[in-house]
Amino acid sequence: MKVVLEKRLGESVKAQIGLPVASALMALVFCGVFFALTGKDPLMVYDSMFSGALGNDYGLSETIVKMIPLALCALGIAVAFRMQIWNIGAEGQFYMGACAATWVPLNFPDLPAVIMLPAMFLLGALAGGLWGLLAGWFKTRWLVNELISTLMMNYIAILWVDYLVYGDWRDPNGLNFPLTAAFPDAAMLPSFGDLRVHAGIFVVLIAAAVFTVLFKSSKWGYETKVIGSNPVAARYAGMNIPRNVLLAMFISGAVCGLAGMVEVSGIVGKLQHGISPGYGYTAIIIAWLARLNPPAIILVSFLFAVIHVGGFMLQTMGISAAAATMLQGAVLFFVVGTEIFTGYKLRIVKGGADNE
Amino acid sequence: MSEDFIVSLLAAAITMGTPLLYAALGEVICERSGIINLGVEGMMLIGACVGFIAGNSFGSPWAGVAAAIAAGALLALIHAFLTVTLRANQVVSGLAVTLFGTGLSGYLGQDYVGQPAGAVFGKIALPVLSDIPVIGSILFKQDALVYISYFLVPLAAWYFYKTRSGLFLRAMGENPAAVDAAGINVFRLRYLYIIVGGALAGVAGAYLSLAYAPSWLENMTAGRGWIAVALVIFALWDPWRAMAGSYLFGGIDALGFNLQVLGLPVSGFILNMLPYIFTVLVLVLVLKRRGGRSAAPQALGLPYDREER
């Protein structure tokens, strides 16, 4: 008896849906082993995570609040990943977007909302976009690996925001905490009644709709797809690869920067140290898990927001929120590990004869 | 600047460069075999965390290093299984390792944050050698892991360029099919080199928590694993150049730290950006000089599938 991998003829729809679900379940079991080994009851851990994130209005509202930045960053990342450009700088682009958006209410607190919000929106997207574009420029000009440059720029952006909120931008009445003064009402996105869910959800839905259309039926969407899957063919077809790389990095960064703007304007109401607890990194997994498909990104973002909020619930049990990061990493393990089975299937060969 | 200041700065450059050196050396070995490992940051974190815990529990820093080696190797085994056996995307698999390692180390280490280290690597002045003026104080008043790294670099260089196995290792990164055709088991050897790389990343982490800091903090590597990945490009996949690059980066780190201590009127946050800015700049300069061609092994990042030979 011997197990061999055999190529599938055509793509299996069952495998495309079943594998991510199976991956998530296997990740839960895998991490459960670690919880059990360290003396925590895995069922209790998962129960408090999921009931905390889904079991009541407050938890559900928090989950949607967390879904907004995750989905926006994942959409931004998807733009680059489709071209096989590994923009893992969403975190830094988020910080830069949040930072630029904050500049408006800090300097012009008396602007009316109709000017304030669009200005924040544009500046946030522009700052994130330029931060991404810079890495894109290093790549097209000198072939600097964007994985390294975008990641290094994450650290730089985070330190830059720290420099501001610990320095010039610190609220003089803020008891020395590393945060800016609270935004005026005109700089805040409206929210739904008493809930913390805010209008950023519409930004997510509109962005997802726009990218669905652009990816599927625009010339740009087609070009980026071809460049990503077969750069040689793209070059023969006369597509301008460097220009597309720059454009993709700008759009990718702009969407992530927008996520930063939406976060400060929708929920936090100020810029502060650690404005993102790693949304940009979690979004990488989301984008990959959703196969860069915008509607799927929204769904997967919701699931990861559950893990995120669940992680906070764990802290009340005295368990580090890092457990949630661990779970996310494990999900990605199983997703990349089972990916081969969308193109191949296992077959058991009798007799163990080498079939080569 | 006095001579003493420069000597202590250079000695600090070696100390701060050593974790980078272990991690970069591991990555050079792994990438030479054709596999990109972007899990270095996660492997270092798990090495730092497990190393600290084991060092504390057994009261010996060597126990910490042994545990860190095992932990780094185990994470590397996952990466190897995913990328070699399942032919998964190496970039995404590496990111998963980093995320998982970051999370697991934060979870396992939560009770140890801020605790004093029970076992540390102290500085040992080597007899005779440390009495050499200037050089002695820079190179030979370090800790045991630094001295071991002095031997590891020539050892790796000798293995790469002078042995038959080293030839196969280098060939595997350029053309795995040819090595396979020569009757060498590419899959098994790639497993081996990925695991060696992970073990070295584990030591790099343990160096931070047992010699450099010595303590455990969540995310204490602060991107050093990623800097090590960048260093490999800078080093053109060569052990000696990896050593030079590590000390150069260690020097930048030390310089930023010393300028802060000297009370330079620049914010600490800006000085802390130096290593990251420098990493990007160095990549730009290296690639610019080489006309935009990197010296990467030809088959780096490509899964090897016997059926598609």
Nearest-by-Cβ selection for B288 from A142, A319, A328: A142
Q: What parts of chain A have a pLDDT lower than 50?
A: 352-356
Radius of gyration of chain A (CA): 22
Q: Are strands A344-349 and B124-125 parallel, antiparallel or unpaired?
A: unpaired
Cβ-Cβ contacts under 8 Å, B272 against chain A: 159
- Collect all residues of chain B within an 8 Å Cβ-Cβ radius of residue A142: 283-284, 287-288, 292
User: Which residues in chain B have Cβ-Cβ distances shorter than 8 Å to A138?
Assistant: 280, 283-284
Q: Which two tokens stand for residue A114?
A: 């109709």
Q: What is the pLDDT of residue A11?
A: 64
Name the DSSP letter for residue A83: T
Nearest CA in chain B to A30: B100
Q: Is B151 on the interface with A (CB under 8 A)?
A: no
Tell whether the torsion through CA atoms of A174, A180, A184 and A189 is positive or negative: negative
Q: What amino acid occupies position A133?
A: L
Of A149, A319, A328, the CB nearest to B99: A328
Question: Residue B142: helix, strand or coil by DSSP?
Answer: strand
Rounded Cα distance between A263 and A178, Å, is: 17
- Report the top-level CATH class of A46-318: mainly alpha
B79: nearest CA in chain A? A333
Tell me if B259 sits within 8 A of B271, measured CB to CB.
Answer: yes
> What sign for the dihedral angle of Cα B225, B229, B235, B237?
positive
> How high is the pLDDT of residue A237?
85
Residue B144 above 80 pLDDT? yes
Query: Nearest Cα to B205, choosing from B69, B38, B15?
Result: B69
Encoded tokens for A32: 């459960």
Identify the sign of the CA torsion A213, A215, A217, A220: positive
Q: What is the mean pLDDT of residues B92-105?
A: 89
Task: Mark yes or no for CB contact B82/A147 under 8 Å.
Answer: no
d(CA B188, CA B17): 32
At CA A16, angle to CA A11 and CA A20, rounded to 5? 155
Residue B1 Cα to chain centre, angstroms: 31
CA dist B280 → A30, A134, A251, B276, B286 (Å): 37, 11, 22, 7, 10
Residue from the list B110, B230, B287 with its beta carbon closest to the beta carbon of A142: B287
> What is chain B's mean pLDDT, rounded?
88
Q: How many CA atoms lie within 13 A of B268 on its CB side?
A: 8
Instruction: Please check the confidence at residue B308 and state whether its pLDDT lies above 70.
Output: no
Q: Are strands A2-7 and A344-349 parallel, antiparallel or unpaired?
A: antiparallel
Helix/strand/coil (H/E/C) assignment for every residue in A226-281: HHHHCHHHHHHCCCCHHHHHHHHHHHHHHHHHHHHHHHHHHHHCCCECCCCCCHHH
- The string of pLDDT tens digits covering residues B245-284 is 999 989 988 888 787 777 777 788 888 888 889 888 888 8
Three-class SS state of A50: helix
Q: State the ipTM, two decimals.
A: 0.85
Closest residue in A to B222 (Cα) is A155
Look at B103 and A323 and tell me if their CB atoms are within 8 Å.
yes
The CA distance from A90 to A128, in Å, is: 8
pLDDT at residue A265, rounded to an integer: 93
Q: Among positive and negative, which fits the CA dihedral B79, B93, B215, B18?
A: positive
Compute the nearest-CA separation of B168 from chain A (Å). 24
Return all residues near A150 (Cβ < 8 A) that are at least 6 apart: A86, A87, A88, A89, A92, A132, A135
Q: How many CA atoms lie within 13 A of B257 on its CB side?
A: 14
Pairing, β B124-125 against β A2-7:
unpaired
pLDDT band with cut points at 50, 70 and 90 for residue B206: very high
Chain A within 8 Å of B281 (Cβ-Cβ)? Answer: no
Instruction: Check A148 against B230: CB less than 8 A apart.
Output: yes
Percentage of residues in chain B with pLDDT exceeding 70? Answer: 97
Please list every residue in chain B whose beta carbon sits closer than 8 Å to the beta carbon of residue A332: 92, 95-96, 99-100
- Within 75-94 of A, beta carbons closer than 8 Å to B belong to 86, 88
* Radius of gyration, CA atoms only, chain B: 19
Q: Which residues of A touch B88 (CB under 8 A)?
A: 336-337, 339-340
Cβ-based contacts under 8 A for chains A and B: 154
Q: Which of B180, B276, B282 to mutate to test the interface with A (most CBs of A within 10 A)?
A: B276
Task: Give Cα separations from A313 to A44, A50, A139, A277, A318 (angstroms).
Answer: 12, 9, 41, 15, 9
> B87 in contact with A at a CB cutoff of 8 Å?
yes
Q: Provide the residue ranges of all domains of chain B, joining segments of one domain with +.
A: 19-221+296-308
> Which of these, A82, A294, A301, A286, lies nearest to A209 by C-alpha position?
A294
Rounded distance between C-alpha atoms, residue B226 and residue B19, angstroms: 12
The total of other beta-carbon atoms located within 10 Å of residue B67's CB is 23
Nearest to B107 among A138, A284, A322 (CB): A322
Q: How far is B249 from chain A (nearest CA, A)?
A: 14
pLDDT in tens, B147-167: 999 999 999 999 999 999 999
Pure H helices in B183-267: 186-207, 224-234, 239-261
Distance CA B160, CA B300 (A): 17
What type of residue is B126?
L
List chain A domain ranges: 1-40+320-356, 46-318
Rounded CA separation B25/A212 (Å): 44
